[in-house]
Structure formats: C-alpha cells, structure tokens
Structure 1
Amino acid sequence: MSELFDHYPSLIQKYGVKELFSGNANIPNFSQKSLKIAGLLTCIQFLIPSCKEFSDRSGNMAPFVEIPNNNSFKPIKYIIGSISKDDFIEDLFILLISVVGTDYYKKFIKKTGSSNFTTEDILILNEDPELQEYIDLMAWFALIRLFLESVYFYFNPENHNLKNPLQ
C-alpha cells in the first residue's frame, strides 16, 4: 500500500481522481480495493489540513459566500463532486471493518451502544482488554465520519442562507 501512496500523485494525473475513487482504473499490480482505499485516504489527507483555510482569525468558519473565492475550494468541490458522502463513509466503514473485523466491531458497538454512555464509560473502554487493540482506530473512524458529514454539509450551497449568511 505504501508504494501506491508514493505514486498516487502521478496516478491522479494519469487516470484522474474519479477513476481512482471508483477503483475502475486498470493499474497493474494493484487491486481495485487498494485503489479505492488509497483514494479515500488521500482525500482525507487533503481535506483535513485544507479546511483550516476556511476559518477566520478567531477560528470560526468563514461565511460561505466568501468560500468560492478561496483557492482551496476548487479541489474540495471536485472531491465532494467525485464521490458522494454516503459512498465515502460506506467505503471507509468497509475499510474499518476489514481492519478490525466484524467480531471486534460488534463488541465495540455492544459496549458503546447505550444511550446513557458517559465520559466515565469512555475511560473504562480505554482499559477494556477486549477493545484495547483497535480503540483508537474506532474513535478515529467516528471523528472522520463527523468531519466528512460537516465538510459535505458546509460545502453544499443548499445548506446556506445566502441572503443572511449568519443563519
């Protein structure tokens, strides 16, 4: 997989982002699954640091009406136009399950599925021997999912009141 990441910029130029996201690019020695995973992780690597460019000096998100003038908007618009949020999250979920396994995931959900889940419960999970191995990965997935939901929401003009940008 690291070889794929090393060559990913040149692969994007040769095949295009949409082909790589779909896994339909026919690249010798790489499976469709590996291409999709590399594409998704590359998008996350781009999205996370670029989003800081959309905040003002006090750390609040800039009004949406100012975003189209930002140079980082075009690549983000291209990414979110190339893969739907649901597909992005589903593919990341499949990646997560393939790493942790369904048994681990079920144990994690069973232990965190209570609606009364508290901060103390989170601290107990850190000490749970059954969940020790992948607890950080599971938390990472939850944070990335929230991040993707917010990116897709924020960069969709339908979610903004352009007459009154503060709403």
Structure 2
Amino acid sequence: MALHILVQNSQKEDLELGIFRLRDQLNNPQLTELLESYPDLIQEYPLEKLLSGKIAINNASEQDVKTAGLLSCLLLLIHFYFDFDNGNLPQSKADDLNQFDSIKYIVNAITSEECIHELFLLVLSVIGIDYFEKYQEKIKDPDFVLKQTIGFDNDPEMDEHIDMMVWFALARLFIESIFIYYHRSYESKNNQP
C-alpha cells in the first residue's frame, strides 16, 4: 500500500520512455547494443559484476557496461512493480516469490544511493552543468510550482531539458520507493519466526 501511494502518480510508460530518451540522448551505439543484449548478459554474468562494469564485453567500455546494467535494472524494476501492481502477472504464491526474489536480487546488487547517483551523472552528462545550475537556481524560487504549471514556454533556456529533469525526479521517487519498500519487506519476512 505504501509503495503504491508513493508512486501512484507515476506511469510505467513515462518511466520507461524516459530511460529510452536518456539512452538516445547519450547517443552511444555501443550502449544501445549492450542494452539490447542485456537479457543474455544477465544470465551469463553476476549482476554485481555487470553493475560495476568490470567485465570485458565486446570491447565495450567499463562505463558503457555499467550504464547498460543500471538502465536494465531500472527497466526490470519498473516491469516487476507495475505489472504486478496492475494485476498483469499471475497471482500465485510461487509467482509472488519469484517476483520478490528478482526484485530482491536487484535491490541487493546496488544501493538506492548508488543507483540515483549514477543516474544523476548520466542525466548531467546530457543536460550539462550550466543547465543544472540554472535549474537549481530556478527551483529556489518560491513561485516555481506556479511557473512550472504555466510552463517554461517563455524561457527557452529552461524548456530545453525540463522534460529530462522532471523524468529524473520521477525516476528518483520510484527508485527510493522501491528500495524502501522491498528492503522493509525483506527484513520483515526474515524476522518472522
């Protein structure tokens, strides 16, 4: 219930689309190729190694392997949460356990802080430090919510990357919610006699 409340305004498609937009804006064919082959890679290598990037794969850079791991994990978390929450997955105890084990596997492979930090660095590489500093300055304004509601149409400088910043805020909320919920669930399941 608590996780549903925290992410109730988010949409699966918005989160997924943001990941693919980020991938496209990074404009890295090697990263795209790694993301497409990730289902095979995750069966071949431990997730922790993939997330560290310290695996030689098709001459890919360590950062590309790490980024592909992060984005793939986010896509899986989105899939598991929203499909389960919307009743799209079969409802049996075995399915619940498999879903929980898959999420637990991801949550135990990386911390929410590492996940958010790495995602922020990717977003920052797209939007640039100058834009981020201007964005930070704008959100200090107490009327920011009203101005955001009206839109940044009159401020082309801010309009350029606002979708990416809004997506990052949504993704961060989702990541924190998933990690809080599943760490708590894991601990409470292990503490039962």
| TM-score (norm. length: structure 2) | 0.70
Letter in 1 for 2:70: L
- Could you say what secondary structure the match of 1:131 adopts? helix
Q: Which runs of 4+ in 1 moved over 4 A?
A: 158-162
Identical residues among aligned pairs (%): 39
User: What is the deviation of 1:158?
Assistant: 6.9
Q: Which of 1 and 2 has higher RCO (CA within 8 Å, sep 6+)?
A: 2
Deviations 1:112-146 (A, max 9, x none): 1235532x211344312102221111110010000
User: Which residues of 2 match residues 56-95 of structure 1 at below 5 A?
Assistant: 69-95=96-122
| Aligned position for 2:70 | 40
Deviations 1:27-73 (A, max 9, x none): 2421111111111111111111211355377xxxxxxxx8x944211
User: What is the deviation of 1:159?
Assistant: 9.2
Give me the whole-angstrom Cα distance separating, in 1, the residues matched to 2:45 and 2:188. 37
Instruction: Establish whether residue 17 from structure 1 lines up as the match of residue 54 from structure 2.
Output: no
The range that moved more, 83-92 or 122-131, is 122-131
Instruction: Establish whether residue 136 from structure 1 lines up as the match of residue 163 from structure 2.
Output: yes
Residues 20 and 35 in structure 1, CA contact (< 8 A), matched pair in contact too:
yes
Residues 138 and 144 in structure 2, CA contact (< 8 A), matched pair in contact too:
no
Give me the whole-angstrom Cα distance separating, in 2, the residues matched to 1:109 and 1:56. 35
| Aligned position for 1:63 | none
Residues 104 and 186 in structure 2, CA contact (< 8 A), matched pair in contact too:
no
**Of 144, 147, 157, which residue of structure 2 is paired with 1:121?**
147
| Aligned position for 1:155 | 182
Give me the whole-angstrom Cα distance separating, in 2, the residues matched to 1:138 and 1:159. 31
Give me the whole-angstrom Cα distance separating, in 1, the residues matched to 2:45 and 2:185. 31
Deviations 1:60-104 (A, max 9, x none): xxxxxx8x9442111110000000111111100111111111011
Unaligned ranges ≥5, structure 1? 58-65, 163-167
Letter in 1 for 2:34: L
The count of residues paired between Structure 1 and Structure 2 equals: 153
| Aligned position for 2:4 | none
Instruction: Establish whether residue 7 from structure 1 lines up as the match of residue 37 from structure 2.
Output: yes
CA 1:158–1:55 in structure 2 vs 1: closer, same or farther (change >3 Å)? Answer: closer
Considering fraction of residues, name the structure with more helix.
2
